[in-house]
Amino acid sequence: MNTNNFGSQIRDLRNGLSLSQTKFAHMYQIPIGTLRDWEQDRAVPPSYVEALCLIISNDPEGTASMIEVGAWSEVHPFNFDTYGI
């Protein structure tokens, strides 16, 4: 994904999934303001966002379910309390 036109690419991805900005941001836990900034090319996303978008495009529902609060702990049992976090 070329960051020069990332805004149109992420907007196309979101529109291809028939999701509003609010719904897309909620599903993938992206702050709505950040998503808007990306889509309007006001901010350049971190490099990992390209990989996230590729994963979303290949499996939107599976990605959303893995990102849900608590789903990560099922895959990677990290106990924040153990580390005082």
What domains can be seen in the chain, in order of their start residue?
Answer: 3-83 (1.10.260.40)
CA distance 11 to 56: 13
| pTM for this entry | 0.74
Listing DSSP states for 51-78 in one string gives: HHHHHHHH-HHHHHHHHSTTHHHHHS--
Instruction: Report pLDDT for 84.
Output: 55
pLDDT tens for each residue of 10-62 = 999 999 999 999 999 999 999 999 999 999 999 999 989 989 999 999 999 98
Q: How many residues can be counted in the chain?
A: 85
Instruction: Report pLDDT for 83.
Output: 52
